[in-house]
Each structure stands twice: as structure tokens, then as C-alpha cells.
Amino acid sequence: MCGICGIAARPGQSPDRQVVEAMTRVLVHRGPDDGGVHQDGLAVLGARRLSIIDLEHGHQPMVSPDGTVCVVQNGEIYNHAELRRELEQRGRRFATHSDTEVLLELYRELGPAFVHRLRGMFALAIWDGPAGRLVLARDRFGIKPLYYSVDAGGLSFASELKALVRLPRFSRDPDPEAIHSFLAFNSIPAPHTIYRAARKLGAGELLRWEGGELSIERYARPAPAADADVRRQPAAELEHELRARLRDSVRAHLVSDVPVGVMLSGGIDSCTLAALAAMEGPPRLATFSIGFAERSFNELDRARLVAERYGTDHHELVVAPSAAELLPELAGAFDEPFADSSAIPTYLVSRLASEHVKVALSGEGGDELFGGYETYAADLLAERAGGALARLRPLVELLPSSSRRASLDYRAKRFVRAADLPPLERHHAWKEIFSDEARAELLVDRWHEPADPLAGHRSRFAETEGAPLLARLQDVDLGIYLVDDLLVKTDRMSMARSLEVRVPFLDPAVSELALALPTGQKVRGLSKKRLLRGAAAEWLPREIVRGRKRGFSIPAAAWLRGELVPFAREVLSPERCRAQGFFDPAAVQRVLEAHVSGREDYSRQLWGLMSFSLWADQAYGGAGAEPATGTRPVAVR
């Protein structure tokens, strides 16, 4: 795992090597083991390296023997040994055992089409000197991040926004569309970032910068099978196939020259990975779990069942409500507003794991691929009886607010408020943070620009016409929520502790089957992840296989009616809101008081507002969102 960055200048200009050197220093947490910078003509590429494969010889940037092609990468290529053998048969010679050198030679053999052959998680950059071409690419599921910026001087890129912000010409003028998206989702979907001057490269996208011109293509698009192509074999046959595919993926993800562990939450996804890693991997696998004093959020007992069954070297940590200490630090790690509260346990389990291993497996992607969210069961129920259930809203709205995890009142209110909407709007409404009307009330006039946060969702949903409805909604989550929330959270929190996290569910070996499953093998009634549970039954205790999903969340509602109230009042004070210049202080106070009083569960809304406020303080130093000195960004998309 690494941090990468670089600059490709426009023809007739010269890139600044010192700027790239400064960018690499900002990314040292992503790669504390090694670093380097390479300059060739119009381009300068930089890297910081966390050494995982070929510890001695995998230095980056890596340059071809003739000095004409240079590569930097963040990630792991799991089929690098297979690709190396193919390239050797074609006459290519290798000086190392690094997967980075395989990227270099594969590009020299195939050009930009090389990305189609890669199995792994990666964000990479290749400078082709003779062609005067910079190629950026991101893996098909968007596991690893990549940001870029275009201005009068050329194109710059980096693994994290904090490196781009160091560019002399970078404008920190906020993007109003990104602000609206954040308030709708508590994260900012690609291609936007919080700054007008920067964009995210999307999952499965390849960018070319050649002759001062930018082009982007989507080279990979994992998508659900059309209804006619859905796999309809008996469950036992599909379970057998899934077990084999999971074994194959975990085996590939265990390849490392350093110790590998598993983040063990107690849910079906991470427990399955732990069981397989224990069977396929080291003599005594290390596992790591986080728990809470609040019983409805605590899965330590279930995690211990798996740890004991497989004799792992198990480590646990019980989390106290210390968000007031952690949130400012985490805001700095994300570089832009980000408010998934499970970042706290993700950071803490990463810190725990990093004390023992350099690589850990995690279960991201299992819910989106196999149907693990309660919203999926609600989607199907609403299709059958949404109109009738929506008429119960006056009664449901009378339920008092609870601080328990996914409480009945919270789920019931969310359901009846959206039950009779069209499928995509309904699916979003169950997870929506601030509605259109709430955003209009919350934002000061300056940020009242027309915005449609769901535009990207609608576009993606339209691409899967002909697939079963549930699969289409899962695909929206897979391409947006997973990429721009869950994977961002996992990457930043693990990299903040110099820990590489791998996600075996997001591997073609597993995803190709999952994307072809019929609805009934994923969700039926209130039963979710039906095929995965059946496949894992021979590996896991009954309590895990039959257990209800709890998720990797924190007791935010309780904390924001207890220990965290003083912190929330400080971070969201009217004085601070006025100084930052984004939110109407009175509207913010209404949200805060409604939650603290117990009238509504607004914990996710408050978490978002606090996260935004902490980002704004760090980005602008309390001076408000005035554009930084420098040129305006060039429109790139």
C-alpha cells in the first residue's frame, strides 16, 4: 500500500519537482517504509511506500530499463505472478518480484489496455515519455482512491486531497454541488470533491493526459445480470460454487511478505473471512475486534465464538464515547466533510491491528453484493404494499424516539415516510440525511445553487434496465455508497495507521457470481444474505449464521444525548456557524435541540454537521469559506 502523487505539465512548461517532493511528505502515513521522486521531461511522479510484496526491491517510482516509462501504484495486484509468467514467455525480463514491475512491463506490452488484465485493488499512474502521455487508473470497484486537478499549468494527481491542496495554484473555493451532496448523503460521491478545483477519478475509470488534453473512459463496469441471465440453479449448487470462489479470493488476498490479520466484527462477512483465512493462512491467524458498553451495539461475544473455534490470536478493545478527542483528528484524515460515524471504530480497530500486523482483511462489499441491508427487505415489501403501509404514517409518527441501534421507531418512521415513492427515490429516502427542504432551510443564501444530489444515482440506475429491481438498487449502492462512503472510510482510517486493508468480497472471483444471483437467493421476506449464510454454515457457529445484522456502527444517538452533548454544542455553536458561513445558526440549533430532547433521532444529521464544522475549521482556520489565492480551476468534467 502506498501514497502516490505527481504533476504532468502542459507542453512548453516545466513541472516543479520540489512541489511533488512536498506532496510525498504529506502522504508519508500511507507509506512510511520508503519514498522517492522521478522526473522525466514534462512529468514528475512521487510515491511513499508501505512495503508488503518484495520488501527489498519494490522501490517506487519504478522506471523501465530504458528509462522511458515510469510507474507508481497504491494497492496490490493479486494476479501478478500469473501475469509475470505470461510476460516472461513473451520475452520480458524482471529484476524484482514486485507487482509494481509487472504493471510496468504489462503496460509496455499492451499500452493503456493493460488495465483489463488486472485483478486487484489499485490506483496507479504511468508516465510514458515517448508518447508524452500520463495514464491514471483506478480499480473496478474503487477500493483505492485517486484525486486529480487541472489548471493552467497542467494536471496534478494524488492519493489524498491533502496533497493537492499543497499545490501553489490550488483554489480552495468550495463546490456548492458537493455541499448539497454531503448534506444528502454524509459523504461526497465522485466525481465531486468539496473543492471546485479537484475531482475524484471514478471506480473502473482510466484517465489519459496527452498533449495537454484530458480524456476519461470507464474501462470496467461490474453490473447485475439481466433478468434472462440470472443464475437459477438449486441453492445447494450455488452454495458449493460460492464456497470455492470465496476460498479462491481469500487465498489470493493472503499473499504477502508480511503478517496478515482479519478485522473481525462478529457479522457474517468478517466471520466468513476469518474462518477461511484461518484455514488457508498462517498457523495462528491474528484477529481484531471492537466492542461497546451499550449491549445493542456490542458483537464481541459473537466475534469470540469464531476466534475460539479457529484458535486465532484474538485482540479486543471496548470503545468509550471518546469522539470529542478523535473527531478533529479524523476530520484531518478525510480532507473533506465525511460523516460516517463508523469511522471511529474503523480507526480504533485499525490502530489495534497495526500494533500486530501490516495487512488486514475486511468484509466491505458483502452487504451490497449479497443483500445484507434491511433497506433491501424494505424495498421488496414496499413494492408489494407500500401504498397501504404509507397510510399508517400518522400513527407511526407518534412513536417516541429511542437511542437503541436501528430502533423500531427509527425504522418504522423511515419506512412509512417513503413507502409510496418510486423505487430509487424510496431507496434513497430511507438513508437520506437532509431532504431538499431541510437543505434549503439549513444553508445560507450564498450556497443556494440549484443541485440534484440524486443525479448520479438516477444515471447509474438507468444503466441497469432489464435487471431485477433489487439487483438494480444494490448496484446503486455498490457503485456509490460503497465506493464513496465505506471504502473511503476504510482506506483513510487504515492508512492513518499505516495499515493495508484488503477486501476479498470485492474480487471478480466472488462478485461475478453475486451479480448474477436471483432475488430469492439474496433476500426473501426479512431473511437477508440467504446464499452467503447457507454457504458459510459449515464454517461458522449457528449464532453467526442465523444472527441478525448489527453493522459496524456506534451508539451515536445515545452519545449525542449524553456525554457528547457539550462537544456538539461547542462545535455547532451559533458563533462558529456564523464565522464559517455555511449554515444558518438557528436551523442548526433546531436540529440539535430536537435530538437532545428526544423528539427525533437526528444523530446522523448532527454527526454530519459536526464533521462539516470540523472540516471547515481546519480548511479555513475559522475565517470562513473565502477562495484561497491562486487561479480558478479549469473545468474538467
Domains located in the chain, CATH noted: 2-218 (3.60.20.10), 233-370+486-545 (3.40.50.620)
Choosing from 2, 5, 70, 271, which is the catalytic residue? Answer: 2
Q: Is it the case that residue 392 has pLDDT exceeding 70?
A: no
CA distance 476 to 548: 24
pLDDT tens, residue by residue, 58-92:
799 999 999 999 999 999 999 999 999 999 999 99
Tell me the H-state helices in 50-174: 80-89, 99-110, 161-164
Of 130-144, 205-219, 253-267, 459-473, give the lowest mean pLDDT range. Answer: 253-267
Other C-beta atoms within 10 Å of 364: how many?
A: 25
Q: Is it the case that residue 118 has pLDDT exceeding 70?
A: yes
Q: Are 260 and 287 in contact (CB under 8 A)?
A: no
Q: Is 2 a known active-site residue?
A: yes
Q: DSSP states of 500-518 as a string? A: EEE-TTSSHHHHHHHTT--
Instruction: State residue 385's pLDDT score.
Output: 65
Write out the H or E segment, with its range, that includes residue 375. helix 374-390
Q: Is it the case that residue 636 has pLDDT exceeding 60?
A: no
Tell me the H-state helices in 160-315: 161-164, 176-185, 235-253, 268-280, 300-310
Instruction: State residue 71's pLDDT score.
Output: 97
Write out the H or E segment, with its range, that includes residue 316. strand 313-319
Which is more confidently placed, 450 or 134? 134
Name the band, by pLDDT with cuts 50, 70 and 90, for residue 628: very low
Name the band, by pLDDT with cuts 50, 70 and 90, for residue 629: very low
pLDDT tens, residue by residue, 235-250:
999 999 999 999 999 9
Q: Are 125 and 43 in contact (CB under 8 A)?
A: no
Nearby residues of 395 by Cβ (< 8 Å), 6 or more positions away? none
Packing angle of the helix pair 176-185, 603-620 (nearest 10 deg): 150
Please give the model's pTM, rounded to 2 decimal places. 0.93
201: which DSSP letter?
A: P
CA distance 431 to 427: 7
Instruction: State residue 300's pLDDT score.
Output: 87
Instruction: State residue 635's pLDDT score.
Output: 34
Name the band, by pLDDT with cuts 50, 70 and 90, for residue 626: low
pLDDT tens, residue by residue, 534-577:
999 999 999 999 887 665 677 889 899 998 999 999 999 999 99
Q: What is the percent of the chain where pLDDT is above 90?
A: 78
Which is more confidently placed, 492 or 399? 492
CA distance 209 to 137: 12
Instruction: State residue 54's pLDDT score.
Output: 63
Tell me the H-state helices in 2-98: 17-26, 80-89
Nearby residues of 107 by Cβ (< 8 Å), 6 or more positions away? 69, 71, 114, 126, 128, 135
Q: Are 544 and 303 in contact (CB under 8 A)?
A: no
What mean pLDDT is predicted for residues 14-18? 95
Name the band, by pLDDT with cuts 50, 70 and 90, for residue 343: very high
Rg, the chain, Cα only? 24
Comparing CA positions, the residue from 398, 428, 396, 429 lying closest to residue 413 is 396
Name the band, by pLDDT with cuts 50, 70 and 90, for residue 411: low
Q: Is it the case that residue 637 has pLDDT exceeding 50?
A: no
Name the band, by pLDDT with cuts 50, 70 and 90, for residue 634: very low
Could you tell me which residues are beta bridge partners of residue 45? 6, 38
